[in-house]
Structure 1
Amino acid sequence: MHYMKSLAVASVAVLSLGLQGCVIAVNGDGENYSTSSYERQEEENRKAIASLTDGVQLAAVQKELGTPNFSDLVTVDGVRYRVLYYRTHRKHADGNTTRDECTPLVFADGVLIGSGELALERIPQNN
């Protein structure tokens, strides 16, 4: 009996050596997680953002791009500025999304006025 238990423990130990370093994660859709899924999403976001034109409504952008990675809201001189940040590129291979890996979309009173850093500069400073 003791011999069988020892053999079973040894077998599990040997078999588990082949699994060391392997991680398989599955997302809610049952697809295997991989870096390429991030890359696909980034590419889709870049394509969608490149096709946007000034004057498109906030709701239409959110419908097409979904929930942003980050969102800011500020009112300056009676104008409500909403900035949505969508991941479009990777700078750090750490699994976390940061603002510097996103493209900002700037809306004034619910209407797109631009994207990228130049659009952010269009928001007046609230002094």
Structure 2
Amino acid sequence: MLKKFFRYLILGLGLYALIATLVITFYKDDPQAMIWQDREAFNKRYIEKLSLEQPTTINSVLDYLGSPDLTFAKRNSDEVLQIIFYRTQHKTSDGITTIDECTGLLFKNGQLILWGPSAYKKYQD
């Protein structure tokens, strides 16, 4: 009887581990369905992993993070500058997302060139 119990226990734990591993591996997070605290953390983790060594396009960021909280764009002769903001830190509980609560990602002709506090300064210049 005890042997049978342990056999089912081990089988159940193994099945649980398999299902958990499959969900973690293949389930894609949907930022649009997250509560704001989770989305902030999700955005922050993604942005912290960005690197200029690996070229990043605006489409790949939009595919992964979803719609930005704020966005601005301008054209200077032959180049298009676009800055998109994703909320990464909570400041005031007023229901409004402001630039100081976000991290900016600056794109030049669709390629990421800068992110963080200096991105918006560069965009304004």
> Normalising by structure 1, what TM-score?
0.65
Separation (CA, whole Å) in 1 of partners of 2:51 and 2:120 = 16
- For 1:56, the equivalent position in structure 2 comes to 56
Residue 41 of structure 1: CA displacement? 0.9
Q: CA deviation at 1:39?
A: 1.5
Q: CA RMSD in A?
A: 1.9
Query: What is aligned with 1:75?
Result: 75
With over 3 angstroms needed to count, the CA separation of the structure-2 counterparts of 1:95 and 1:124, relative to structure 1, is closer
What are the ranges of 5 or more consecutive residues in structure 2 without an aligned counterpart?
A: 1-32
| Correspondence for 1:39 among 37, 57, 60 | 37
| CA distance in structure 1 between the aligned counterparts of 2:61 and 2:49, rounded to whole angstroms | 11
Q: For 1:29-72, what per-residue CA distance to the aligned partner results, in whole angstroms no more than 9, with x for missing partners?
A: 7x9xxxxx322111100001111222201100100110001110
Identity %: 30
The CA distance in 2 between the partners of 1:101 and 1:121, in whole Å, is: 15
Deviation at residue 122 of structure 1 after TM alignment: 2.9
- Write the deviation string for residues 68-109 of structure 1: whole angstroms up to 9, x where unpaired: 011101112421001011011111111221222111100000
Cα pair distance change 1:84/1:90, threshold 3 Å: same
Matching residue of 1:87:
87
Q: Which has the higher helix share?
A: 2
Q: 1: distance between equivalents of 2:122 and 2:96?
A: 28
- Shift of the alpha carbon at 1:120? 2.6
In the alignment of these two chains, the number of paired residues is 91
